[in-house]
Structure 1
Amino acid sequence: MTLKEVAAIVRVPEATLRYWRHLGTGPHSFRIGRSVRYWRTEVLAWLEQESHDPQDRP
């Protein structure tokens, strides 16, 4: 998934996802060339984890 697609699902600005990536929080991401991508399963798992315990972040 692209940064834009994840931002729409999580309902946060793209800049917030970039900041979370910088901090090492948020859904797991990876790079393909210069593009940042996310696995849909990783995003959904992250949302599930956050819904149960939003304070328990790595």
Structure 2
Amino acid sequence: MCHDCPTQRKSVQNERDGRHKDVEAQPHTDTWLTRNELAERLKLPPRTLAAWATRGKGPRGVQIGRHTRYWLPDVIEWENAQRQNSRHAA
């Protein structure tokens, strides 16, 4: 969830029974980050992300032509997994 945006709710229809329920809206689910933007977000050098990508580590990236982009929901999912893993290691 974006900490700069107010929490938003939206109604979503259940595919099985057709009922609606309120869920928290994800306002930035269509956001794609560049490697530099992700590096800034994680406070890491962009080269670290490039090295991780060659080893299959880090958040999932998508090649668009010669450029790597990171879908924000994938990044957030990866960040949450890292947080969970660090709690288990402590």
**TM-score past 0.5 threshold:** yes
SS in 1 for 2:59: coil
Query: What is the RMSD of the two structures over their aligned residues, measured on CA atoms?
Result: 0.8
Residue segments in structure 1 that go unaligned for 5+ positions in a row = none
Question: Does 1:2 pair with 2:34?
Answer: yes
Runs (4+) off by over 2 Å: none
Q: Distance in 1 between matches of 2:41 and 2:81?
A: 15
Per the alignment, residue 55 of structure 2 pairs with: 23
SS in 2 for 1:53: helix
Q: Distance in 1 between matches of 2:80 and 2:41?
A: 13
SS in 2 for 1:43: helix
Q: Deviation digits for residues 32-54 of structure 1, max 9, x if unmatched?
A: 11111000011111011001104
Question: Does 1:44 pair with 2:76?
Answer: yes
Q: TM-score, normalised by structure 1?
A: 0.88
Task: Work out which of the residue numbers 26, 31, 34 in structure 1 matches 2:66.
Answer: 34
- More helix as a share of residues: 1
Question: Which entry has the higher C-alpha Rg, 1 or 2?
Answer: 2
Residue segments in structure 2 that go unaligned for 5+ positions in a row = 1-32
Q: Distance in 2 between matches of 1:15 and 1:25?
A: 13
The aligned amino acid for 2:75 is V
